[in-house]
Chain A
Amino acid sequence: MAFSEAHRNIFQTELNGLKEQGLFKEERIICAPQSSEIEVSFPFGAEEKRVINMCANNYLGLSSHPDVVEAARKGLDHRGYGMSSVRFICGTQDIHKQLEQKLTEFLGTEDTILFPSCMDANCGVFEAVLTDQDVMIADRLVHASIVDGMRLAKAQQDTYKHSDMEHLEKKLELHQDKRLKVIITDGNFSMDGDLAKLDKIVELAEKYNALVFMDDSHASGFIGKTGRGTHEHCNVIGKVDIITTTLGKALGGASGGCVSGRRELVEMCRQKARPYLFSNTIAPVVVEGALAVLDLISRSTERRDKLEKNTEFWRKGLTEGGLIIKEGETPIVPVMLFNAKLAQDFAKDLYEMGIYAIGFFFPVVPKGQARIRTQLSAAHDMHHLEKALDAFLKVGKKHNILHKTKQEIIDMYGQ
């Protein structure tokens, strides 16, 4: 047998190392459809527990919406389960083109191409569009999938300090000689829940003749007055050259992503983006579900409005209760604990009280910035949030961190 005990030991040693460093990830088993309340078995095999979910990307609460489920079922009946093909051989159905068209209209762009995921979109787009004569200038907190996409491209890479427009301008000056300069940012930064200064970025792009790329995965569907995303919020619809986003969060939560933007750039992806060319088409059932989502949120802003109200309640409640949160206005609300062990203990105590939220610490976030990232949903009703808030404050009291400053918490628990 080729995979010997010695081979096994190599990997087991590495896995043991992850456990010793506290970096070993374990899945919680959800025994219900995604929603504001779920049944969880953790560790695997343990008795199921009903908990309020405060950590899903189900911002609009559409993951299990009856209209979406019904549309997906229709897709299954009318267009089958799978296509057994990549897009350009025999994997493009009429509904794939309809979804691309609907996303173009929704995002206010010129054209759209679907990818199996936004991770794939980010991994494919830079290599497809840029050459070694170009430069990519990225915010230092962009998502890991963008970092991977940049690594695959031949263009030069540079970064600017998070949302620091002066620093970005310096970088644009530094790279004046390049054929193309692309400013790369997230719309809503997933770990901190703060929005990019997209209006300023667009201004700088115009001044220095640069292109703008934005991953709006944590914004599409709910940021902006009608939920178009960060570009709507910042009043720059039509001025962002490339938008990538996901269907795996607010827009139904199943899977799939896209590149949307200037016609020629989208066409370059159709011709050259490897995750598009060499990966299966999105399943019809997902496409029909996503079409239903876009239909729902284009007809009414009720769900994003409810999410906004939930977010206001949650941010205000945590702050007034004495916990430190990252300031902002989005439904990503990090509760800052600074110490990794405290974050883990806090999450464990919450779980005991029926609240499901996860602690994040280095290397997912910088050292000394451990936190519990909470995410609001339109599926949350007030009684969910009141119960969750009560639990957060009780656990905060238990650990004696209410109404304490960052320094006081660090003095008690270390960084």
Chain B
Amino acid sequence: MSDLKDVILEYVQEEYLEDDDDIEVTYDTPLISGGIVDSFSMVSLKRFLETRYNIQIPDSKATPQAFDTVNNIIKLMKEFGIE
């Protein structure tokens, strides 16, 4: 199974970057505060994680801070036993 970090990074790149974007996204790139992911579009990332890992992330935990970098998302996923 792919490494969780890479699964998330790949999803972010495919979902949020346009073909002509020359932005490099790393594990620490600010996604929401950096303007790559807007608050609406965050929903699809949440839904992707919930479906793929069969979990429910409550809205109280799905904050812009928790989703701001791939590394932050990894920390959040640990709370659900996903590593």
Task: Enumerate chain A interface residues (CB-CB to B < 8 A).
Answer: 138, 140, 147, 150, 156-159, 161-162, 171, 174, 367
Contacts and interface: CB of A to CB of B under 8 A. Distances in A.
B40 A147 contact: yes
Given A161-B18, A162-B18, A140 B41 contact: yes
A138 B18 contact: no
Interface string B14-41: 0000100000000000000001001011
Contacts of B18: 161-162
**Chain B contact residues: over half helix, strand or loop, or mixed?**
loop
A60 B61 CA distance: 50
Given A161-B18, A162-B18, A156 B43 contact: yes
Contact of A159 (B35, B41, B47): B41
A21 to B, nearest CB: 14
A7 B44 CA distance: 41
Question: Closest 10 CB pairs between A and B?
Answer: A157-B40, A159-B41, A158-B43, A159-B40, A158-B44, A157-B43, A156-B43, A161-B18, A174-B47, A158-B40
8 contacts: A150-B40, A158-B40, A158-B43, A158-B44, A159-B40, A159-B44, A162-B18, A367-B35
A171 B35 CA distance: 21
Contacts of B43: 156-158
Given A159-B44, A174-B47, 12 more contacts: A138-B40, A140-B38, A140-B41, A150-B40, A156-B43, A157-B43, A158-B40, A158-B43, A159-B41, A162-B18, A171-B44, A367-B35
A305 to B, nearest CB: 34
Nearest to A164: B18
Interface string B34-56: 01001011011001000000000
Nearest to A406: B20
Interface residues of B, number: 8
A322 to B, nearest CB: 22
Contacts of A140: 38, 41
A127 to B, nearest CB: 15
B36 to A, nearest CB: 10
Contacts of B38: 140, 159
Contacts of A159: 38, 40-41, 44
Most A Cβ at <10 Å: residue of B35, B41, B44, B47 = B44
A157 B39 CA distance: 9
Contacts of A157: 40, 43
B73 to A, nearest CB: 18
Nearest to A175: B47
Nearest to A171: B44
A140 B18 CA distance: 11
A117 to B, nearest CB: 22
B37 to A, nearest CB: 10
B44 A174 contact: yes
B50 to A, nearest CB: 11
A211 to B, nearest CB: 18
A174 B49 CA distance: 12
Nearest to A363: B35
A147 B40 CA distance: 9
Nearest to A135: B43
Contacts of A162: 18
A25 to B, nearest CB: 20
Nearest to A159: B41
A147 B39 CA distance: 10
B14 to A, nearest CB: 9
Nearest to B14: A167
A157 B38 CA distance: 11
Most A Cβ at <10 Å: residue of B18, B40, B47 = B40
A44 to B, nearest CB: 33
Most B Cβ at <10 Å: residue of A138, A147, A157 = A157
Contacts of B40: 138, 147, 150, 157-159
Contacts of A138: 40
A161 B43 CA distance: 14
B47 to A, nearest CB: 7
B67 to A, nearest CB: 14
Interface string B62-77: 0000000000000000
B17 to A, nearest CB: 9
A150 B43 CA distance: 13
A171 B38 CA distance: 16
B75 to A, nearest CB: 24
A214 B40 CA distance: 18
A207 to B, nearest CB: 20
Nearest to B48: A174
